[in-house]
Chains A and B, each alone.
Chain A
């Protein structure tokens, strides 16, 4: 098995990182490119960019962010938000992203998963699921659908999703730990890897998630202290989780 992955998630709106990043050492905390490089140097295994402003007019802005990030980043990154068609996926992947994350568009038209996977491979398709009370939610977790979470994860994987990004609405933003029960239920039902998301408040929380999931998404815990990423990695490793060895800075 590959090493467990630690994945900082950056919310981007109008080409800028929008929330929660506080760090005086960066010239421009809102610049996705500078922050991406900073996290990469700090030992992030991957990055996720979520375009929370995603509208058709914003597509061009996000594409240019993706291209600029790809030019400086030597670790993989996923882009989500606003991916509603094969053309959107093409635009983002050919600008240099490794993977696209789909959420409501895949729910509305599950054949989109297969169409993108056929073109770029399953490893390029992440299905993002916002889960609460046993069902999938849309609109950033505000609207409940009638689609049950676990069967949707199974269907997404069968249709070609290469990874599930699973966010617990109940835990997200509360910093009380990930929803381990939900994560275990989804991961146990499918054979593609799972990224646990929502609730990281400490290294213990992340380590507990990584006992179950293949990767853990982290947001405020790193954004509030970007220089703390290497320390967070060490703490997680001290709790018995093997992360990839970081050698020689370049």
Chain B
């Protein structure tokens, strides 16, 4: 099995994602190199930081184009939290930022009772409970799962995006990552 490429976008906690991959027996590298991203069997776009600086970093390094090329070639990418939000068309965060546009829709600030939405919550229709920490959420025609009425997963072709943090969601999160990484 080849290394999973965890995309580096300058700020962020890639360590926990890599640790989770280690727990399920996968090796990984952190990279913003376009050819590594384009050619990897599996890529994870992780999620801590702010939208504007993340997109600037992805554009500057050429990682954006590489993510598009993977998508067009039908090769799997998992976006986590901000990494999912960046895959949509636009986000309200940081005064408005254009995303990668791999998926339909946009990212809006949450208006729940408590924001940030922090903690463990059930995801429907999947039934599992995962850890969330977010102030923004996606609105997308590509939605495939919700939690407390909020869209928390989107899929189009080879791109799956999730709002929760599988790397911080205990055994359920590791099982989720394992399913994502196993060949269909």
Contacts and interface: CB of A to CB of B under 8 A. Distances in A.
Interface of A: 1-5, 40, 45, 67, 70-72, 74-76, 90, 93-99, 118-124, 162-163, 191-193, 214-215, 244-245, 247-250
Contact of B171 (A5, A45, A250): A250
A165 B183 CA distance: 43
Interface in B109-127: 112-121
Given A119-B49, A120-B48, A74 B20 contact: yes
Nearest to B48: A120
B116 to A, nearest CB: 4
Contact of B114 (A97, A119, A191): A191
B13 A118 contact: no
Contact of B19 (A70, A99, A119, A247): A70
B172 to A, nearest CB: 7
Contacts of B180: none
Nearest to B112: A1
Given A2-B148, A5-B120, A94-B13, A214 B19 contact: no
Interface SS of chain B: mixed
Contact of B116 (A67, A123, A247): A123
21 contacts: A2-B118, A2-B121, A3-B129, A5-B119, A45-B120, A70-B19, A74-B174, A93-B13, A95-B15, A96-B19, A118-B50, A119-B11, A119-B49, A120-B11, A120-B49, A122-B116, A123-B135, A162-B116, A193-B116, A193-B118, A247-B171
Leading 9 A-B pairs by shortest Cβ distance: A2-B119, A250-B171, A244-B120, A123-B133, A96-B15, A123-B116, A2-B121, A162-B116, A76-B168
Of B19, B133, B165, most buried by chain A (CB within 10 Å of CB) is B133
A74 B167 contact: yes
Interface residues of B, number: 41
Contacts of A192: 114-116
A71 B120 CA distance: 21
Interface of B: 11-13, 15-16, 19-20, 22-23, 48-50, 53, 82, 112-121, 129, 131-135, 148, 165, 167-175
A121 B50 contact: yes
B133 A76 contact: yes
Contacts, number: 125
Given A119-B11, A121-B135, A245 B129 contact: yes
A214 B114 contact: yes
Given A2-B120, A45-B119, A247-B172, 13 more contacts: A1-B112, A3-B119, A4-B119, A74-B167, A74-B174, A94-B13, A120-B48, A120-B50, A123-B116, A123-B118, A123-B133, A192-B115, A193-B114
B11 A70 contact: no
A162 B118 contact: yes
B170 A40 contact: yes
Nearest to B135: A122
Interface SS of chain A: loop
B167 to A, nearest CB: 7
Contacts of B48: 93, 120-121, 124
A99 B48 CA distance: 10
A249 B174 CA distance: 12
A98 B13 contact: yes
Contact of B16 (A3, A96, A247, A249): A96
A93 B50 CA distance: 14
A181 to B, nearest CB: 20
A76 B165 CA distance: 9
B116 A74 contact: no
Contacts of A1: 112-114, 121, 148
Of B168, B173, B175, most buried by chain A (CB within 10 Å of CB) is B168
A127 to B, nearest CB: 13
Contacts of A122: 116, 135
Contacts of B170: 40, 74-75, 250
Given A191-B115, A192-B114, A72 B19 contact: yes
Contacts of B115: 191-192
